[in-house]
Structure 1
Amino acid sequence: MKIAIVSGSQRPESQSLKVARYLEKRVAELCEGTSVYLLELGSGPLPLWDQSMFTGDPSPLKEAWAPVSAELTEADAIIVVTPEWHGMVPPALKNFLLLCSKELANKPGLIVSVSASLGGSYPVAELRTSGYKNNHICWIPDHVIIRHVSKMLNGEPSSDEEKMVAGRCDHALRILVEYGKALRAVRESGVTDYETYAFGM
């Protein structure tokens, strides 16, 4: 089992990255034998999507995307950690989703939204509405919203609120792993035809 975690903030050493590293650690502790690939969009931003993705010619974009694509292709499940910027998913994360095609197809995705205050719900709605269409990721029913994130997951959970958040994270991770096992059968079934039906409707 391999899980990919995407830290979707464009800020280096962001709160999103802190949460992504926390989840990386919890995956190792909860799911023995599971490896993790952590993609940090803050320190290593990807080039913006352009038409070269649809051509057969080499390009700087394809060169930068190739190692990321290889890691995602090997993954059985994906966790997306996103901050809420002006009520939206950050541009770097939207760009990441534009670059993805078959890498995420029929793989379960867990949305983890973080907010400096009491927000965090809008990125969940945005990703569930349009963040799956052409990459075919399957967002699982559970998601996590971590509010007042600067006070959360900085060490051993202490307050009741922090313990609740930590418990919710563990619960979602366990479910994600089971979805990862189950959807492997769909990917191996041979029913997918992404040459003919590459894009969702």
Structure 2
Amino acid sequence: MKIGIISGSHRQDSQSAKIANYLAKLLGETHPKIGTWIHDLGKEPLPMWDEALFTGGEHWAPLAKLREQCASTDGFIIIAPEWHGMAPAAVKNFFLVLGNAGEIAHKPGLLVSLSVLTGGANALCELRMSSYKNSRICYIPEQLVIRNVMGVFNDDASANNPEEHDYFVDRGKYALNQLVEYARALKLVRDSGAGDLAPFPNGM
């Protein structure tokens, strides 16, 4: 089994990337046989959607590797910081670019948002409302809203707020366990053929 992690911040050195790496570490500790990969949209941004996506524009050539990774992956962690009460453009663009080819269809997604202060929920609501339609990603009921993110999931233990960090480690493991079980279950759906996108490639 393989889990892909999308770090959705535009920043080069982001808290989203920090969270991505820490969740990958937690997943490795609790499920050592599961592989992970991280695509950091701050360091490896995707071109903004344009029509050349469908006609083989040269700037879309690097997308082939990400498509292959997503196609061979059983579940996803989507990390979206809340910016101005919204999910960042890079995350929305990820779904526009990978929304119709089936690489993420009928695979579970764990949504994670974060805020330096006490926000975070709006980005998750936005993604739950719109990003699944054509992509057919299946968001699991559990999610993580990591507030006061500067004080948790730091490799330097002295930089962590002990109470909040320990809580989010436990909550993270709980959410990751659910993601793994949904990944196992939804493989049966994909293998059944019931999720064939050929008759209706776009959601309603």
TM-score of the two chains, using structure 2 as the length reference: 0.94
1:47 and 1:64 in contact (8 A); partners too? no
SS state of the match for residue 141, structure 2? strand
Question: Could you tell me which amino acid in structure 1 is paired with residue 109 of structure 2?
Answer: G
Counterpart of 2:126 in structure 1 is 126
| 1:61, distance to aligned residue in structure 2 (A) | 4.2
Q: Which of residues 74, 84, 87 in structure 2 aligns to 1:86?
A: 84
SS state of the match for residue 39, structure 1? strand
Q: Percent identity?
A: 42
| 1:158, distance to aligned residue in structure 2 (A) | 5.4
Q: Which of residues 169, 174, 186 in structure 2 aligns to 1:171?
A: 174
Counterpart of 1:69 in structure 2 is 67
Question: Could you tell me which amino acid in structure 1 is paired with residue 68 of structure 2?
Answer: A
Aligned length: 199
| 1:163, distance to aligned residue in structure 2 (A) | 1.0
Q: Within 2, Cα distance between the matches of 1:152 and 1:18?
A: 10
Large movers: runs of 4+ above 4 Å? none
| 1:194, distance to aligned residue in structure 2 (A) | 1.1
Counterpart of 2:151 in structure 1 is 151
Residues 8-59 of structure 1, C-alpha deviation per residue, up to 9 Å, x if partnerless? 00001100000000011111111121111100000111111112233xx422
SS state of the match for residue 36, structure 2? strand
| 1:192, distance to aligned residue in structure 2 (A) | 2.2
Residues 145-165 of structure 1, C-alpha deviation per residue, up to 9 Å, x if partnerless? 000101111134652222111
SS state of the match for residue 18, structure 1? helix
Ranges in structure 2 where 5+ consecutive residues have no aligned partner: none
Counterpart of 1:42 in structure 2 is 42
Q: Within 2, Cα distance between the matches of 1:22 and 1:90?
A: 21
Counterpart of 1:103 in structure 2 is 103
Q: Within 2, Cα distance between the matches of 1:111 and 1:191?
A: 25
SS state of the match for residue 133, structure 2? coil
RMSD: 1.2
1:48 and 1:61 in contact (8 A); partners too? no
Residues 138-185 of structure 1, C-alpha deviation per residue, up to 9 Å, x if partnerless? 000000000010111113465222211111111000110000000000
Ranges in structure 1 where 5+ consecutive residues have no aligned partner: none
Q: Within 2, Cα distance between the matches of 1:53 and 1:82?
A: 24
1:80 and 1:112 in contact (8 A); partners too? yes
User: Relative to 1, partners in 2 of residues 1:153 and 1:81: Cα closer, same or farther, differing over 3 Å?
Assistant: same
Question: Could you tell me which amino acid in structure 2 is paired with residue 159 of structure 1?
Answer: P
Q: Within 2, Cα distance between the matches of 1:148 and 1:87?
A: 16
1:134 and 1:200 in contact (8 A); partners too? yes
SS state of the match for residue 12, structure 2? coil
Q: Within 2, Cα distance between the matches of 1:190 and 1:47?
A: 32
